[in-house]
Structure 1
Amino acid sequence: MITLISIALLSLSLADSWPSPVYVSDEPHLTVVASQPKVITFRGGNATLPCRLDRDIEDAFGGSTMRIKWTKLSPDFSKEIDVLVSMGFHKKMYNGYNGRVHLQESDENDASLVFTEVRLEDVGKYKCEVIDGMDDATDVVSLELTGVVFPYSPRLGRYNLNYHDAEAACLEQDSVVANFDQLYEAWKGGFDWCNAGWLNDGSVQYPITTPRGPCGGNNTVPGLRNYGLRDKTKSRYDVFCFTSNFKGRFYYLNNGFNMTKFTYDEAAQACENDGSQIAKVGQMFAAWKLLGFDRCDAGWLADGSVRYPISNPRRRCSPTEAAVRFIGFPDKKHKLFGVYCFQAFD
């Protein structure tokens, strides 16, 4: 007969043979911290997107098992574009980032991403993700450029660009399709434009500082008028482009006292003869906004338009505001205008 004492002793013996319980904490052992949510630089400059690890060293796996990944978020946040992946000594850069990005690695907890020769298309939000064993942590940093937003429509006239045409149009003018933040900052600076244009997230908007009938109504408030997301293939609007500093010289071709007027072809050839290229619309806007370029002479640009930049408003030039004045797309055979040239620096 098994006594109660025997049962007790058997229970104690079995208990001694069981493994000790393991308690798992819900607290993360790893976090990443971006010391600033936004980094601002200029085209051609350098930038460091901060990302530091904050981890429990006793529980962290560390070493070659830790994986650092930087991705760029698409404007509508629907996908991620690989920028850099690092695991121990193994590192890989992707797409147009190869040779232009690297990890700062000032210490074992530094996962910051360093950019060199920043491009217009680099603007956007970047995600820093660190995986260490079972721990995974992320943070997001925005990279922005100083620059200028400008409206653009082609020779065909108002509302002739689908989204893909708009992208190409901006690129041809030394710019990219502007994002919402860039248009919003331009609006805060007084930008007022009544034609709707594409932004890089596929939405169509326009900035109004002075409400009026044709632009949303007299009784509306100032702000960005938003048409929402539109069909990128079928819908047609203008576009808001964004450009930044350039490495080069923008100038009006002036042959001494001989104020030569050109046809379009003659203008392009005159710039080439001067060791330059006929300037693009984005280059004129950048020179005007960022360098204070001021010239009261209408001149040809690469897209066949005629414009002139005024930083100091005055009678007969631009009496009420600083602006890039638009003459239009005249017949290219008319010998009525000068020319603006651009000489790129290496």
Structure 2
Amino acid sequence: MLEIIKGTVRLYARHLPALLAFFLAGWIANYLLIRFAGFVANIDPLYGYLVLPLAVLVRVASFVAMFLVLRPGKNFVEALSSSILPFLVVFATWGLIKTDWVAFASAQLEQRSLDGTEPPLFVTVTPITVGVVVVAFVLRLLLKRSSEKLPKWFGFIAAYLEAVWIFLAIDLIGQVTGWVMEWLDGRRLVAWINDTLAAIGDAVAPLKFLWEGAGWLLGQAGVVIGLPLAWLTLAGIVYAVTRPEDSPTRLAAAAEKRLKRFPPFIRARLADVGGDLAGRWLPISQAARLIWRSGPLTVALFVLSYAVLSTIATWIQFGVNRLIGPHDLSFWMATDTGILLAISLLVEPIRIALIAATWSYCLTLSPAGRAELQLEQDKVRQKVQPGEA
């Protein structure tokens, strides 16, 4: 634990200006793009949904840049491209992306003309919206296949297309899921099952209490334990230093054997899609495996440190509010964003430094991690020696 604390302090002290600059740049760009997305959404909701992923993308880019400042070596565009999907999953799972959704809706409502000609607030599942998802996914796949022949800046276009199709797909899938659940709730069998479970819960009060308590406990564990580990995994994805498996798994070998039965054209397209999916999963599985091998003590100490830092941030906000004193609602609406930004500028660099220091410590606990650390050091020496010469 002492090594992690020392590493956190060292990274924070050495890179604080850059961490603050990247976080503030991401925050400002996110705010301005959300306002612009709300403006164009009043022309057509789909326009807003094409801009809103940019707001989320700059937030992801700022975190990726903060991680790379603390541990340089990987190309920024490559790190950003491989991190978009995991970041969005984490944001969506723990409600971190909800802030952007609320801000987007508020910006759209604030900029409406209210003359009765405004379009709807949100997009719905239509052939056009589904087509946008498909086109964005296909274009992103084509850019990835041709990445070696295209200029480096095309990577940013690929990152935007990645954010568009994922962002829209999450929203559309959520709508379809809502329709399905609403349809199921109207079925007699489902209604009977719900009524039966409710009757059992009322008849056996302790069982209902235990069930609700277990649900609450799992929810709290997801935030207290799951969120820190998710961020640590994201750091591993950004740095991508774990060594891939040399031999294919039995499942991969079976899939390759079945793939040979298809015609060459279909086999090539399936290989593209399968390789893309495997490329997304491999960094996640490698990072999670390395964290697991670091041992329960390291994980527990990191989770505890993360929780302490989050608690400190909450108490700072509480103390600032108490220091300012009671005011009317309009005052808090005007100042709340600035207060939260100031606290984030204080806490976020420490949190990112803690995550990066913990990841570096995890690498030292496994042979593969130590090998990759040595490989990184060799690459740094190779870059430095020509300059010295």
TM-score after normalising by structure 1? 0.23
Q: Which has the larger radius of gyration?
A: 1
The structure that is helix-richer by fraction is 2
